[in-house]
Chain A
Amino acid sequence: MTTRDWPLWEVFVRARRGLSHSHVGSLHAPDAEMAVRNARDVFTRREEGVSIWVVPAAAISASSPDEKDAFFDPAADKVYRHPTFYSVPAGVEHL
């Protein structure tokens, strides 16, 4: 084999108007145009989408799973950010 694989792309599909694009998987393609066409054939053969985004997998930066505890810790002790933290006197409505 002389040619190794094409670059990897992450694929996002908008299932229908009114929804955001969601990650559905990844595929290999030589360029962005082919990635969009391949994504149509791989992920929307049954009308699962009305719009497709493709992003080079190498262009994505992500938080590290090793640091996930420390990284997300600051939110863990701030229950007052949720409405259920507050007590409301009986009979008070629409609050």
Chain B
Amino acid sequence: MYGNHGTTSVPVDAPAADDPTVDRDFMALLDDDGRVEPRDAMPDAYRRGLVRQIAQHAHSEIIGMQPEGSWIGRAPSLKRKAILMAKVQDEAGHGLYLYAAAETLGVDRADLLDRLHTGRQKYSSIFNYPTPTWADIGAIGWLVDGAAITNQVPITKCSYGPYARAMVRICKEESFHQRQGFEILHTLSHGSPQQHAMAQDAVDRWWWPSLMMFGPPDDDSPNSARSMRWGIKRFSNDELRQRFVDMTAPQSHALGLSLPDPELAFDALTGHWRYGEIDFTELFEVIKGNGPLNAQRMAHRTDAHERGDWVREAALGYAAKHARTEAVA
């Protein structure tokens, strides 16, 4: 609740207004580990950077419903189906929390959706990979949601209040997502030889893309330093990636599954798991739009949006009609 909504609307691409006083007060607030709230004066680049990041995050939640949504009708039991529906519904909710957080920065959700649909804003590349088997749903929960949680937990303490608060809700809900994925894989891994092979195949395909979810290596991540300075990012890409590997490598043993990296080994000296070199050319190809399913995900998204247009219009018409009736009565 920030009041006076709509009075501060500024186009996302508006030129940066340089006001040195704002910057000085603002940096003093951040240095004091203070929180920025809607309608506070803030450097334009901070605001635009946040809009871009929160919107991309929101788009990822919405597009992320597709790879799993396609398995709702094919889940192997009623229990798994109910769980998967709850999870996909959570992703929709996460998208809504995040769009609402972005809107406190003076943009409209409808504009952000336009930007997604016309390819001007991106979503996480991980959702451009296919989910050919039921084990993929397990691997997504365990690895993709696990990586997402590792990335998101530090954002609960980011400098922008509404983003941090949205992330608190999201992280609470994500923990069930990761556990249900782990449980699916554990069940398959300890089932028939075919089921075990299916679980191993899914983990083999999702492991490296999950590591890429943390972004490029630190020495090749141009925006990281500024995001750190602004308190939007708290840990570097490589730090978070290492944290994720340290958590998941021992979990793979409990699953009875291997990770597809011959160089993966525990380093007793550092207390960390060492892992092999990541082929980032693949990540950049997928970001450029050359992933397995980029075109299909976008086509499905825009189609669903256009086909929902009459519902949005009808609901508005109904609301307008009732407002008139009440005014007369």
Q: Which residues of B are found within 8 Å of A60, using beta-carbon distances? A: 1-5
Q: Which residues of B are found within 8 Å of A4, using beta-carbon distances? A: 108, 110
Chain B interface category by residue count: 35 or more
**A55→B97 CA distance, assembly (Å):** 17
Q: Is there contact, CB below 8 Å, between B305 and A1?
A: yes
Q: Is B100 an interface residue (CB 8 A)?
A: yes
Interface size in chain A (residues, C-beta < 8 A): 30
For the complex formed, measure the closest distance between the CB of A53 and the CB atoms of chain B, giving whole angstroms: 11
Some 6 contacts from A to B, beta carbons below 8 A apart, are: A28-B109, A30-B316, A30-B318, A31-B319, A57-B3, A66-B41
Q: Is A50 an interface residue (CB 8 A)?
A: no
Which B residues lie at the A interface, using CB under 8 A? 1-6, 37, 39-41, 86, 89-90, 93, 96-97, 100, 103, 108-110, 113-114, 165-166, 173, 305-306, 309, 312-313, 315-316, 318-319, 322-323
Q: Which residues of B are found within 8 Å of A26, using beta-carbon distances? A: 1, 100, 103
Please provide the chain A residues from 34 to 60 with a CB less than 8 Å away from any CB of chain B in the complex.
34, 41-42, 45-46, 55, 57-58, 60
For the complex formed, measure the closest distance between the CB of B14 and the CB atoms of chain A, giving whole angstroms: 19
Q: Is there contact, CB below 8 Å, between B6 and A62?
A: no
Q: Is A65 an interface residue (CB 8 A)?
A: yes
Residue with the greatest number of chain A CB neighbours at <10 A, chosen from B39, B96, B114? B96
Q: Which residues of A are found within 8 Å of B96, using beta-carbon distances? A: 27, 42
Q: Which residues of B are found within 8 Å of A5, using beta-carbon distances? A: 108-110
